[in-house]
């Protein structure tokens, strides 16, 4: 008799465990289906202004090492499409926002004109670009590399030709490619 009570109790316990397991699995499946069916709602709506921005890389020398480092900037896509070369050069001329980087383009330098000739971008600067630090032997190379690296971020640009006041200058007579 005692043996029968143990067996019946054991069977009832197994049935209870099976029923609890069955309903637990059913509950989890229903919860997952409800999650899949719910519409994704972002935490913050994306504004029109955010939709129109893209990230560009500008190159400036590090104040300590003098090595070129990229600085990411958000730029309005509509402006970038209208005049990409002018926008990027204006940002490069304006200098870095990061205080660990230093400006590379000499003060008061203006971009007079920019145009594409095949895959070569021709940049015409005012004569102030010649005012780079001539005592620093890396200054000219950093200036050229900063311009080339920044402008070749655009897929159509593979080479850069630098003019001064519309003329070829002995200091910048070559066509430059990204290193």
Compute the distance between CA of residue 29 and CA of residue 34 in angstroms, rounded to an integer. 9
Compute the distance between CA of residue 123 and CA of residue 44 in angstroms, rounded to an integer. 41
First CA to last CA distance, the chain: 92
pLDDT in tens, 162-177: 999 999 998 888 888 8
Mean of the per-residue pLDDT values of the chain: 86
pLDDT level of residue 14 (50, 70, 90 thresholds): confident
Q: Are residues 18 and 64 in the same domain?
A: no
In this predicted structure, the answer to whether residue 18 has a pLDDT above a threshold of 90 is no
Q: Are residues 58 and 32 in the same domain?
A: no
How large is the average pLDDT for residues 35-52? 59
pLDDT confidence of residue 163: 94
pLDDT in tens, 102-114: 999 999 999 999 9
Range(s) of the domain holding residue 7: 1-41
Compute the distance between CA of residue 150 and CA of residue 167 in angstroms, rounded to an integer. 22
In this predicted structure, the answer to whether residue 63 has a pLDDT above a threshold of 80 is yes
58 phi/psi in degrees, rounded to 5: -115, 145
Domain count, the chain: 2
Is the pTM here over 0.75, yes or no? no
Tokens linked to 44:
């913050």
Q: Which are the contacts of 57, defined by CB distance < 8 A and separation ≥ 6? A: 70, 71, 72, 73, 149, 150, 153
Q: Is 74 helix (H, G, I), strand (E, B) or coil?
A: strand
Task: Give me the residue label for tokens 């971008």.
Answer: 121
> Where would I find the H helices in the chain?
2-37, 48-51, 77-82, 84-94, 139-151
Q: Are residues 61 and 132 in the same domain?
A: yes
pLDDT confidence of residue 175: 87
pLDDT in tens, 25-38: 888 877 766 655 55
- Contact between 94 and 68 under an 8 Å Cβ cutoff? The reply is no
Q: Are residues 65 and 142 in the same domain?
A: yes
Q: Are residues 139 and 60 in the same domain?
A: yes
Residue 61 or residue 14, greater confidence? 61
Q: Are residues 55 and 20 in the same domain?
A: no
Compute the distance between CA of residue 45 and CA of residue 39 in angstroms, rounded to an integer. 14
Task: Give me the residue label for tokens 């159509």.
Answer: 156
pLDDT confidence of residue 53: 84
CB atoms within 10 A of CB 178: 13
């Amino acid at each position: 008799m005692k043996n029968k009570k143990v067996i019946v109790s054991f069977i009832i316990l197994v049935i209870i465990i099976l029923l609890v397991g069955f309903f637990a699995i059913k509950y989890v499946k229903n919860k997952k289906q409800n999650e899949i069916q719910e519409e994704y709602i972002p935490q913050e709506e994306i504004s029109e202004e955010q939709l129109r921005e893209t990230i560009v890389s500008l190159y400036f020398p590090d104040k300590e090492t003098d090595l070129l480092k990229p600085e990411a900037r958000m730029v309005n896509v509509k402006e970038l499409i209208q005049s990409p070369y002018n926008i990027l050069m204006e940002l490069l001329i304006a200098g870095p926002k990061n205080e660990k980087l230093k400006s590379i383009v000499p003060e008061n330098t203006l971009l007079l004109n920019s145009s594409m000739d095949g895959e070569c971008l021709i940049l015409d600067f005012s004569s102030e670009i010649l005012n780079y630090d001539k005592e620093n032997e890396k200054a000219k190379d950093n200036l050229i590399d900063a311009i080339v690296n920044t402008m070749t971020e655009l897929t159509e640009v593979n080479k850069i030709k630098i003019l001064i006041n519309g003329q070829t200058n002995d200091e910048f007579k070559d066509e430059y490619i990204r290193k």
